Amino acid sequence: MIEAAGETPALQKVRSVRAVGTCAVLAELSGTQDVLALQALLLEKPLPGQTDVLAAAETVLVRADSPASARRIAALLPRLQLTARARTEGELVVIETVYDGEDLAEVGQLTGLGTDGVIAAHSGQLWTMAFAGFAPGFGYLVGENQSLEVPRRSSPRTAVPAGSVALAGHYSAVYPRSSPGGWQLIGRTGAKMWDLDREQPALVTPGHRVRFRAVRNAVTLAAEPATVSPEAQQAASGLRVLSPGVQSLIQDLGRHGHSGLGVSAAGALDRASLRRANRLVGNAPGAAAVETVAGGLRVQAVGDQVLAVAGAPSHLGIESPSDPEPGESGESGEAGQRRTAPMATPFALLDGEILSIGAPESGFRSYVAVRGGVDAAPVLGSRSTDTMSGIGPAPLAGGGVLAAGPDTESGVVGDPELQPDFPGTGVSVLDVVPGPRADWFDQAALDSFCGQDWEVTPQSNRVGMRLQGTPLQRSRTGELPSEGTVAGALQIPPEGLPVLFLADHPITGGYPVIGVVVDSQLDRAAQIPIGARIRFRWAAAGPTTSERKASN
């Protein structure tokens, strides 16, 4: 409901607060108006330890800088008095849409409207953006009626095309880029929902009204930016990428505090290994480095460089470009000079020398730090690549040059360091805080969740780890209104197989979260390889796990 100007705003309170892992809490409210009022209050007067705020359909997620701060925030939220603020009509945005989505016929059956009726109902009403979420430029649009209310898909797609126009619950939205998603697809548009070159990157922001206009002509989105910028190609000092391996990305400690724009933190999945690699070469802890998966990365020094590799233990081979291939001999009849470098130890890579990273002996991700950091262009204060939103540097590709920057903190390199044990192909145990939606499952499902080994499937990525095992049955039916979520959350789609969210996760989701991996174990979770198994163990509940009811 949008309150009319001149009406006396009602005084409301937070209904309840639930823990979301160890460093966040979820405040539940009566509706969208109260949600926006609490968000406005927390942005205007942040609580001690508050780091980010995210409004959703009926909840506000508050992130904290520590577990202690999260507990304090959980105690303070029910005491807040909320004054709803009058809202005015926003700007009208017209989005031309081709209605030919994969799920259009099914939505016609679910609503009883048929295909033509769905098109008429969707394009024939005004939609208002209530809040942002899921991904940058993804706006939750509320219509004038409930004629198009449909459930999400029982199993989310691993890739929804950019520009897809979709429905879920009583919301409509446009996917700003290709990403996983469980909404029903009814059409597509060429409108650019998110563009960092615009003064306001999001085409639609909270309060905007939206009209979908049906068109027949095909529409296409603009091409993605080039993989390697001309500036990187001309770098005078750094690393030339000869082979990126399976996947290699530029990562730092992430871009925090932008949930309101639909932007997740991203950043290194194994934060301790990134910090260790940077510490060894004398960089600032959050300097940008290369995160590489499962070995195969080959880089060549452009100018003399100092490197360190931390994370999944792997063979580090160094060769000169003039070295003969293995099994061959040089002109003198002797083998060319080759050497190895140890993990978690600084070493020199001289101009022209090539570093090759082998397949990990255990773990899954390695971090290559170059003294000075990787000098990529920052986006919203971070050089991290967000694979879901497309924000940040493009994935590494052969021929590109990573420029070395000035991000040093010490005039000397560090001493070799010991690394922790990394997960192998066996069973890794992760501690989990219950909730915030553990009450969507009965005791048998909760016991099954922690009583079996879950296998990490090849469909896993930086967005989330998809797990295979005996499906969990919900004890509730119906749809959960979209709400904020965090890295470490274990979301359970209707098919019953958990998805463990990692750093590039959507910032909101509509499937119940049965539990959240404790923050201190997220680095280890990110190192569990494909095909390995995970067993979850309930952590000590603590004072924030219990639902806190606001007094009436």
Using one digit for the tens of pLDDT, what is the confidence trace for 118-131? 999 999 999 988 88
The string of pLDDT tens digits covering residues 386-417 is 998 889 999 999 999 999 999 898 888 999 99
What is the C-alpha to C-alpha distance for residues 421 and 312, in angstroms, rounded to an integer? 9
**Strands 139-142, 489-491: pairing kind:** unpaired
Judge whether residue 518 has pLDDT over 50.
yes
Residue 1 is predicted with a pLDDT of 30
The confidence band for 85, taking pLDDT boundaries of 50, 70 and 90, is: low
Instruction: Please state the φ and ψ torsions of residue 327, each to the nearest 5 degrees.
Output: 90, -10
Q: Which residues pair with 251 in a beta bridge?
A: 289
Judge whether residue 445 has pLDDT over 80.
yes
The confidence band for 180, taking pLDDT boundaries of 50, 70 and 90, is: confident
What's the average model confidence in pLDDT over 3-22? 69
The string of pLDDT tens digits covering residues 295-306 is 999 999 999 999
Contacts 24+ apart (CB under 8 A), 244-247: 244/292, 244/296, 244/297, 244/395, 244/396, 244/397, 244/398, 245/292, 245/293, 245/294, 245/295, 245/296, 245/297, 245/298, 245/357, 246/292, 246/293, 246/294, 246/295, 246/296, 247/292, 247/293, 247/395
Residue 257 is predicted with a pLDDT of 83
What's the average model confidence in pLDDT over 160-183? 92
Contact call for residues 213 and 123 (beta carbons, < 8 A): yes
Residue 197 is predicted with a pLDDT of 85
The sheet carrying 289-293 orders its strands as 247-251, 289-293, 365-370, 305-311, 347-349
What is the C-alpha to C-alpha distance for residues 483 and 131, in angstroms, rounded to an integer? 11
Residue 225 is predicted with a pLDDT of 47
Judge whether residue 545 has pLDDT over 50.
no
What is the C-alpha to C-alpha distance for residues 54 and 138, in angstroms, rounded to an integer? 14
Closest-CA residue to 60 (of 76, 83, 37):
37
What is the C-alpha to C-alpha distance for residues 513 and 61, in angstroms, rounded to an integer? 13
The string of pLDDT tens digits covering residues 315-360 is 999 999 775 555 554 444 344 578 999 999 999 999 999 999 999 9
Instruction: Please state the φ and ψ torsions of residue 69, each to the nearest 5 degrees.
Output: -65, -40
Residue 86 is predicted with a pLDDT of 52
**Strands 139-142, 171-174: pairing kind:** antiparallel
The string of pLDDT tens digits covering residues 245-270 is 999 999 999 998 888 778 889 999 99
The confidence band for 73, taking pLDDT boundaries of 50, 70 and 90, is: very high
SS3 534: strand
What is the C-alpha to C-alpha distance for residues 269 and 488, in angstroms, rounded to an integer? 11
What's the average model confidence in pLDDT over 530-536? 97
Judge whether residue 546 has pLDDT over 80.
no
Question: Among the ranges 36-40, 182-186, 540-544, which has the highest mean pLDDT value?
Answer: 182-186
Count CB atoms within 10 A of the CB of residue 153.
19
Task: Look up residue 38 and give its two tokens.
Answer: 């609490």
What's the average model confidence in pLDDT over 221-248? 69
Query: Which contiguous run of DSSP H or E holds residue 280?
Result: helix 271-281
Judge whether residue 4 has pLDDT over 50.
no
Residue 526 is predicted with a pLDDT of 96
Q: What angle, rounded to 10 degrees, do the helices at 104-111 and 114-123 form?
A: 90
What's the average model confidence in pLDDT over 174-196? 92
Residue 220 is predicted with a pLDDT of 57
Residue 523 is predicted with a pLDDT of 97
What is the C-alpha to C-alpha distance for residues 230 and 288, in angstroms, rounded to an integer? 19
Cα–Cα distances (Å) from 223 to 42, 101, 131, 200, in that order, read 38, 21, 27, 20
Judge whether residue 16 has pLDDT over 70.
yes
Judge whether residue 480 has pLDDT over 80.
yes
Task: Look up residue 309 and give its two tokens.
Answer: 């590799």
SS3 71: helix
Judge whether residue 550 has pLDDT over 50.
no
Judge whether residue 81 has pLDDT over 70.
yes
Judge whether residue 544 has pLDDT over 70.
no
Contact call for residues 323 and 274 (beta carbons, < 8 A): no
Judge whether residue 213 has pLDDT over 80.
yes
Per-residue H/E/C for 192-258: CCECCCCCCCECCCCCCEEEEEECCCCCCCCCCCCCCCHHHHCCCCEEEEEEECCEEEEECCCCCCC
For the chain, give the percent of residues with pLDDT over 70.
89
Tell which wins on pLDDT, 117 or 83.
117
**Domains of the chain with CATH codes:** 11-83 (3.30.1360.40), 92-214 (2.40.100.10), 231-403 (no CATH), 427-549 (2.40.100.10)
What is the C-alpha to C-alpha distance for residues 486 and 499, in angstroms, rounded to an integer? 12
